[in-house]
Amino acid sequence: MSTSLQNARVLVCGASGGLGQVLARTLMAKGMDVRGTMRDPSKARSNDVQMLAMDVLDERSVQMCLEEARQAMGGVDVVVNCINEMVLGSVEETSMDELGRVYAINVQGLAAIARAAVPAMRAQGQGLIISMSSLGGLLAVPYLSAYTSSKFALEAFSEALYHEVKPDNIDVAIMQPVAMHMDRPDVGDHLKIASGAGPTSFTRSVARLMAKDTRASKLTPEDVSLAIHKVIISKNRKLRYPMDRAKVIGKVKRIAPQGLINKLIGGMLQDAAKA
């Protein structure tokens, strides 16, 4: 039985835009005390979400941010990690520096946040850590080897943490949304093209397909934010929460022979070639 956190004190890590920004506003509208994080709060686009400084690549910065959040809100009941790095490119096109940065942000960043949050949650007798995975945490996608492998690692890390902290009345939940409909450029801060991908690289076809899927998606940041709110107030939390197509693909991945997975990936690459 989980502890329902109806009036939770929430820290949304990575709230400068995208899902994190929408999530912070949604939880505030639900009556929760919320703080967001970004590397430089002076660059915040609006003043409706109170921002704290956090550089997820600097563990000391993460620790200082958690302490500041605890002082500001009197404690932190929930930490949601929306910080994410995505590099699109083949294994050969993706440099070791780019691969390392993806892992440093998506995996080691989560570890730093958990290391800072768990002791305080244990001391207060409750807590919830929410990890943002994706379809990439279920299915290894070509030309997204850096990103999808980091999400596989995030899932394993979160599951191990789940078992470690459950005796302390601390929950871990993994959200698995698919591409969300957002009004933003095809590539940019949210999705970068690997440095080794030339102008005629097939990677750019995959990027166009991803952008097309994002524009056509019926899943919105608001939908995901409301789902996260339900997890926070739930008395019976699960470890994983697949959303939209992730529900079907997760089941297929568990039971399907490799030949069927090959056809699924092959169909995606054919669609990319047409994009």
In a domain, 1, yes or no: no
Do 169 and 126 form a contact (C-beta atoms < 8 A)? yes
**Where on the phi/psi map is residue 169: left (φ > 0), alpha (ψ -120 to 50), or beta?**
left
In a domain, 3, yes or no: no
In a domain, 213, yes or no: yes
Do 148 and 132 form a contact (C-beta atoms < 8 A)? no
Q: Which two tokens stand for residue 41?
A: 């709060």
Read off the CATH number of the domain in which 266 is found: 3.40.50.720
What is the distance between the alpha carbons of residues 95 and 127, in angstroms, rounded to a whole number?
A: 38
In a domain, 237, yes or no: yes
Burial of 143 (0-12, 13-18, 19+ CB in 10 A): buried
In a domain, 4, yes or no: no
**Per-residue b/e over 80-119, b at no fewer than 16 CB within 10 Å?**
bbbbbbbbbbbeebbeeebbebbbebbbbbbbbbbebbbe
In a domain, 125, yes or no: yes
The amino acid at 139: L
In a domain, 2, yes or no: no
Per-residue pLDDT of the chain (275 residues; tens, 9 = 90+): 677 788 999 999 999 988 999 999 999 999 999 999 999 999 887 778 999 999 999 999 999 999 999 999 999 999 999 999 999 999 999 999 999 999 999 999 999 999 999 999 999 999 999 999 998 888 899 999 999 999 999 999 999 999 999 999 999 999 999 888 776 655 657 789 999 999 999 999 999 988 888 888 889 999 999 999 999 999 999 999 998 877 877 777 778 788 888 888 888 889 888 87
What is the distance between the alpha carbons of residues 4 and 1, in angstroms, rounded to a whole number?
A: 9
| pLDDT on residue 187 | 62
Q: What does the CA dihedral 71, 2, 248, 179 come to, rounded to 10 degrees?
A: -10
Calculate the average pLDDT of the chain.
92
Q: What's the number of domains the chain is made of? A: 1
Question: If you ran DSSP here, which 8-state letter would residue 42 be given?
Answer: G
What is the distance between the alpha carbons of residues 260 and 197, in angstroms, rounded to a whole number?
A: 29
In a domain, 268, yes or no: yes
| pLDDT on residue 198 | 95
Name the residue range of residue 163's domain: 9-274
The pair phi, psi for residue 80, each rounded to 5°, is -115, 120
| pLDDT on residue 114 | 98
